[in-house]
C-alpha cells in the first residue's frame, strides 16, 4: 500500500510541475461571479486584460470537492458551484477529482465528478471505497466475520443556488440547497454475515437521503487586504459516519461550516468543522461514539484548471478507533 501511495504522490507532483511550468495561474480575484470577486476598487486586472474584458476571464479552479463529491472544503460543502460559467467560451465544463485519505489503519479513496448548469445547478456523482483496516481485524478477534474488508458508498448529488452572492444589489451570501442520495454497497451483506449485529445497534437502511442548506459569503479584503470566505450550513441526515456504516431510521439536524483564507492568488488555507449525529448504540471495542470532524487544508492553484490540496483531519472516533491524525491529498481538474 505504501508503494501505491508513493507512486500516486509522485505522479501528482509530476503533473503539477509540468503544468506550472507551462502556464501561470490566473488571478482568481479577477474571475467574477463564481467566488464573488472583489469590488472594482479592490480588484486590479492584470496589465494584459482591459477593464471592459474583466467579465471574460475564466473562473479559478475552486472550491474543492469534499469526501461526498460536493463542491466545498474537504469535509463540508460551500454554497458556490464548481466551475460555474464566467462565459460560454472558457468555463462550465465538468469537474473531476481523486481524493485519498489515510485515517489510521483505514483508507478511503474517492473519485468524483460534478457538472454545473445555468450557473445555478450542480449535478454530481462520487464513488467512495473505504478499507475497514483495524475494524475488520477487531471484528474477527471478537469471533465474528463480516465477510468483507471494504465498504463502497455511492453518492448522487443535486444542488441548486437559491440566491447568488450580492443578489438584488444587497450584500447577501450565496445560498444553495442540496439533495444527496447515498447507497452503501456492502453494509447489508456485512450485517447478514454478523447475524444482524449492526441492525441490533440501529442500522435500518443501506440507502439514505441527506438534505443540505448552505450559505457562503466572501469578504474581499477582510484579512491583510486579502479575501476570506465564511460558510455555514445545516444538514438533515440519517447517516452513520456519513453513510459508511449505513443509515438509521431517524433524521438528525447538524451544523457544518468553514473559513477559507487566500493569502496569495495561488494558495487557499481552510479550517472546517462538521458536527455529526450519533445514531447507533455503542459496542465496546467495535462501535464507539461518533465524533465531530475538523480539518485543516491547503489548496494550491496550479493553473486555470488544476488544484492540488492537502488535508489534515481530526476525525475523532471512527467505529473502533480514534483517527485524529488523518492525512489526505486531492487532485482536482476543471475542463
Q: Are 146 and 139 in contact, with CB atoms under 8 Å apart?
A: yes
159-206 pLDDT, tens digit per residue, is 999 999 999 999 999 999 999 999 999 999 999 999 999 999 999 999
Q: Does 6 score more than 60 pLDDT? A: no
Please count the CA atoms within 13 angstroms of the CA of 280 that sit on its side-chain side: 30
Cα separation, 26 vs 161, whole angstroms: 25
Helix-strand-coil split of the chain, %, nearest 5: 15, 45, 40
- Mean residue pLDDT across the chain: 85
Q: What mean pLDDT do residues 74-92 have?
A: 79
How many Cβ atoms from other residues are within 10 Å of residue 100's Cβ? 19
Identify the structural domains of the chain with CATH numbers, from first to last: 2-334 (2.40.160.40)
The pLDDT assigned to 119 comes to 87
The pLDDT assigned to 59 comes to 65
244-289 pLDDT, tens digit per residue, is 999 999 999 999 999 999 999 999 999 999 999 999 999 988 999 9
17-40 pLDDT, tens digit per residue, is 444 444 444 333 444 344 444 334
Cα separation, 141 vs 145, whole angstroms: 9
3-state DSSP of 237-257: EEECHHHCCCEEEEEEEEEEE
How many Cβ atoms from other residues are within 10 Å of residue 174's Cβ? 26
How many Cβ atoms from other residues are within 10 Å of residue 95's Cβ? 26
Amino acid at each position: 500500500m505504501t508503494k501505491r501511495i508513493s507512486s500516486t504522490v509522485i505522479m501528482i507532483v509530476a503533473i503539477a510541475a509540468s503544468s506550472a511550468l507551462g502556464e501561470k495561474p490566473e488571478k482568481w480575484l479577477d474571475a467574477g461571479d463564481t467566488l464573488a470577486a472583489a469590488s472594482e476598487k479592490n480588484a486590479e486586472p492584470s496589465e494584459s486584460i482591459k477593464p471592459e474584458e474583466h467579465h471574460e476571464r475564466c473562473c479559478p479552479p475552486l472550491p474543492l470537492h469534499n469526501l461526498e463529491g460536493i463542491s466545498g472544503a474537504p469535509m463540508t460543502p460551500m454554497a458556490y458551484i464548481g466551475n460555474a460559467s464566467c462565459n460560454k467560451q472558457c468555463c462550465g465544463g465538468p469537474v473531476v477529482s481523486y481524493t485519498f485519505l489515510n485515517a489510521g489503519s483505514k483508507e478511503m479513496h474517492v473519485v468524483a465528478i460534478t457538472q454545473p448548469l445555468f450557473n445555478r445547478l450542480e449535478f454530481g456523482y462520487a464513488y467512495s471505497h473505504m478499507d475497514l483496516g483495524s475494524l475488520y481485524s477487531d471484528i474477527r478477534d471478537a469471533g465474528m466475520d463480516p465477510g468483507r474488508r471494504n465498504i463502497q458508498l455511492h453518492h448522487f448529488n443535486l444542488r441548486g443556488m437559491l440566491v447568488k452572492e450580492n443578489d438584488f444589489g444587497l450584500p447577501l451570501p450565496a445560498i444553495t440547497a442540496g439533495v444527496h442520495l447515498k447507497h452503501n454497497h456492502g453494509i447489508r451483506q456485512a450485517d447478514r454475515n454478523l447475524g444482524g449485529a449492526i441492525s441490533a445497534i440501529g442500522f435500518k437502511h443501506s440507502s439514505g437521503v441527506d438534505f443540505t442548506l448552505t450559505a457562503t459569503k466572501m469578504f474581499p479584503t477582510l484579512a491583510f487586504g486579502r479575501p476570506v470566505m465564511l460558510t455555514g450550513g445545516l444538514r438533515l441526515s440519517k447517516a452513520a459516519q456519513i453513510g459508511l456504516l449505513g443509515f438509521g431510521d431517524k433524521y438528525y439536524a447538524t451544523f457544518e461550516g468553514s473559513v477559507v483564507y487566500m493569502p496569495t492568488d495561488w494558495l487557499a488555507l481552510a479550517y472546517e468543522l462538521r458536527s455529526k449525529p450519533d445514531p447507533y448504540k455503542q459496542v465496546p471495542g467495535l462501535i464507539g461514539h461518533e465524533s465531530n470532524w475538523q480539518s485543516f487544508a491547503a489548496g494550491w492553484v496550479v493553473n486555470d484548471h488544476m488544484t492540488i490540496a492537502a488535508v489534515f483531519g481530526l476525525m475523532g472516533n471512527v467505529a473502533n478507533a480514534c483517527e485524529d491524525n488523518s492525512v489526505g491529498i486531492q487532485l482536482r481538474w476543471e475542463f
